[in-house]
Amino acid sequence: MQKDLAAFLSGFITPERLALFNKIIEYRTCYLTVVLEDIYQSQNASAVLRTCDCFGIQNVHVIENRNEFNVDTQVSLGASKWLTISKYNNKDNNSLDAIRQLKEDGYRIIATAPHASDVNLEDFDLTKGKSALVFGSELPGLSNIIMDEADEFLKIPMVGFTESFNISVSVAIVLHHLSYKLRNSKDIEWRLSEAEKESIKLNWLRNTIKSSKLLEEKFLGMNAKTSYDR
């Protein structure tokens, strides 16, 4: 049904747009995912979404403890409609809820923070499995819960006086390096499954077509009538 619905909705965008969808989906990955914990500056949050889209990272996980995640559309340039964004904001401990879900989904939890056992970005081993890269709020950084639950720790080597990068810059540096290594690896199956591609493209179509809800209702009605006639 999902595949048939996507085929139906595809008739309401230009062939050029559909060709672009089919091209971009081949570069998307869920092997790497980004987790943002309690980001309070909307410009930084929005810049991260834009970066994820540019580097083909499909899934973004947003933890809202004290701060609500707001998107600045002038900065994100609509990137959020191309991404799959999961929010954690209705539990007593949203950070722990997010980590447990990611581990259940098979992700290693990678805290991007200095630690006694951290590894430099250049030395990070992608072949060990799917990785959830966790970035913390600008001032306090990652919470103790994330640090305690992390499987590994990652840092960007720096040689200046300033101790850290802006979060949006950190995400861009990490994703540029790791996504390049990922797509040039012969040992990692980083591409989406066919089912994942179908689901994501359907959401792209829904977010692109202004009257998608009405068209979807029409499609479901047509299929219901066909089933009844049989």
The reported pLDDT for the residue numbered 224 is: 66
| Cα(158)–Cα(168) distance, integer angstroms | 16
**For 105-155, how does the pLDDT look when each residue is reduced to its tens digit (9 = 90+)?**
999 999 998 777 889 999 999 999 999 999 998 777 899 999 999 999 999
15: Cα separation from own chain's centroid = 27
9: closest CA among 226, 216, 214, 224? Answer: 216
| Cα(17)–Cα(59) distance, integer angstroms | 22
The reported pLDDT for the residue numbered 228 is: 44
| Cα(209)–Cα(160) distance, integer angstroms | 48
Per-residue pLDDT of the chain (230 residues; tens, 9 = 90+): 788 999 999 999 999 999 999 999 999 999 999 999 988 887 888 899 999 999 999 999 999 988 888 776 767 668 889 999 999 998 788 999 999 999 999 999 999 987 778 899 999 999 999 999 999 987 778 999 999 999 999 999 998 998 788 899 999 999 999 999 999 999 999 999 999 999 999 999 999 998 899 999 888 888 765 544 44
Q: Is residue 39 in some structural domain?
A: yes
Q: Is residue 19 in some structural domain?
A: no
The reported pLDDT for the residue numbered 164 is: 81
Q: Within 10 A of 78 (CB to CB), how many other CB atoms are there?
A: 12
10 Å CB burial of residue 111 (0-12, 13-18, 19+) is buried
Tell me the torsion sign for CA atoms 179, 131, 3, 214: negative
The reported pLDDT for the residue numbered 98 is: 96
Q: Is residue 125 in some structural domain?
A: yes
Q: Is residue 94 in some structural domain?
A: yes
The reported pLDDT for the residue numbered 115 is: 76
Q: Each residue of 20-43: b (16+ CB within 10 Å) or e?
A: ebeeebeebbbbbbbbbbbbbbbe
The reported pLDDT for the residue numbered 137 is: 80
Domain count, the chain: 1
Q: Is residue 194 in some structural domain?
A: no
Residue 26, both tokens? 């081949």
The reported pLDDT for the residue numbered 222 is: 81
Q: Is residue 120 in some structural domain?
A: yes
| Cα(203)–Cα(11) distance, integer angstroms | 15
Q: Is residue 195 in some structural domain?
A: no
56: closest CA among 37, 20, 83, 81? Answer: 83
Q: Is residue 170 in some structural domain?
A: yes
Domain that holds residue 44: 27-183
The reported pLDDT for the residue numbered 192 is: 97
- The answer to whether residues 37 and 65 touch, using CB atoms and an 8 Å cutoff, is yes
CATH code at 31? 3.40.1280.10
* C-alpha separations of 55 from 162, 176, 182, 193 in Å: 26, 7, 11, 18
